[in-house]
Amino acid sequence: MAEPPQTPRSGIRLATIASVPVYLGWSWLLLAGLVVLLVGQTLAEDLGAAGYLLGGAYAVGLLVCVLAHEGAHAVAARAHGHRVLRVVADLWGGHTAFDATRGTPRSGAIIALAGPGANLLLAALGGLVGQVVGPVGIPGAMIGAFTLVNLLLGVFNLLPGLPLDGGQLVESLVWGVTGDQGLGRIVAGWSGRVLVGLVVVVALVVTYVGGASAVTLIWTAMIGAFLWSGASGAIAAGQAMRALATVDVGALLEPAVAIGADEPVARLLQARALPVVVDAAGLPVGLIDHDAVRAVPADRVETTAVAAVTSQLPSGWSTEVGGPTPTLDLVRAFQTSGSGVVAVTDAGRLRGVVRAERLNAALRGR
């Protein structure tokens, strides 16, 4: 998922790997507590208090499985040129936040497959080790649990509906066939809702036929609510993406003229449109501070560089519109930079600027 870089801390920071922060979400502590309690109660008759220690080991093993899953997503995302923002393990397993700008159906599918693929690979490895160690004793039980958890994580996440990885595969497939990412996300979101319906039906059947513990029913309800929320969010996001696609960026542009940072302030007096200051490579770096311009003495406008009267704008305040989703790229530039104005370029040439209020007005008209 892609989230803006300003997103606050997500829990306890465990480590920073290759400049990517790895967090243990506060909600994961609840999951760990449940694992310790359930495993400890099961083993307490034979092992006493040591059963709860073994439950703690199971919780750590689960964390390793989740981080392997999310780490694989992060590696795949970075390999496809995306900036990875953070990796988080939480109550629902975890998530990897990365900037999905310039993503493609192919890269989306590969990134989605990486997580379950890592778990299935670890399950196969655990199965091989289990064959050597055997099922007897604590080591055998630990390896068996490790293998089973990875197998379940891999298979469950491949189910074809958002917010699961299998849903991302559905989105990528529809996107690749139709060229419409928004439609792909809507279809994958509805697939997720269908999955929730199936989960409810299975839970009711199991309860009616063989009975189910209160813990199982509560956990199933929580998972169902999580999946439904994620699927509904995906549908809303897909609808927003399709609405964005109908907005013409060109119609929102305010004329602007590129002014080199090393040019004299006198050059500003000749500008017939909004001056946008660019660096030596032609990339927009800021706008003119008019108070600073008025403070320049008349006899120094030819010797004072524009850089001296430039108001630097936040990183990410400019965007290229030559890609397949120009309006979405524009929105991401506003979100990432937090700026009220975004410079728009095409093939490296300044086309103009778009102000947030004008984009918002266009979106309200959809």
| Residues 89 and 23 sit within 8 Å (Cβ to Cβ) | yes
Contact 36, 59 (CB under 8 A): yes
The CA-atom distances, in angstroms, between 309 and each of 24, 146, 262, 290 are 45, 61, 11, 8
Distance of CA 335 to the CA centre of its chain: 14
Global pTM value: 0.77
Cβ neighbours, 10 Å, residue 47: 15
275: three-class secondary structure by DSSP:
strand
pLDDT tens digits in sequence order for the chain, 366 residues long: 334 444 445 689 999 988 899 999 988 888 888 888 888 887 777 777 777 888 888 899 999 999 999 999 999 999 999 989 899 998 888 899 988 877 899 999 999 999 999 999 999 999 999 999 887 788 888 899 899 999 999 999 999 999 999 999 999 999 999 999 999 999 999 999 999 999 888 888 877 777 667 767 777 888 899 999 999 999 999 998 888 888 888 899 999 999 999 999 999 988 889 999 999 888 999 999 999 999 999 999 999 999 999 999 998 899 988 777 788 888 888 988 889 999 999 888 999 999 999 998 888 776
The contacts of residue 155 (CB under 8 Å, 6+ apart) are 116, 120
Q: What is the rounded distance in angstroms from the CA atom of residue 261 to the CA atom of residue 278?
A: 6
Per CATH, the number for 249-364 is: 3.10.580.10
C-alpha span between 341 and 334 (Å, rounded): 7
Cβ atoms of 360 and 243 closer than 8 Å:
no
Question: Could you give the residue ranges of the DSSP H alpha helices within the chain?
Answer: 26-47, 50-79, 105-133, 137-157, 165-178, 181-209, 214-245, 249-252, 290-294, 326-337, 356-364
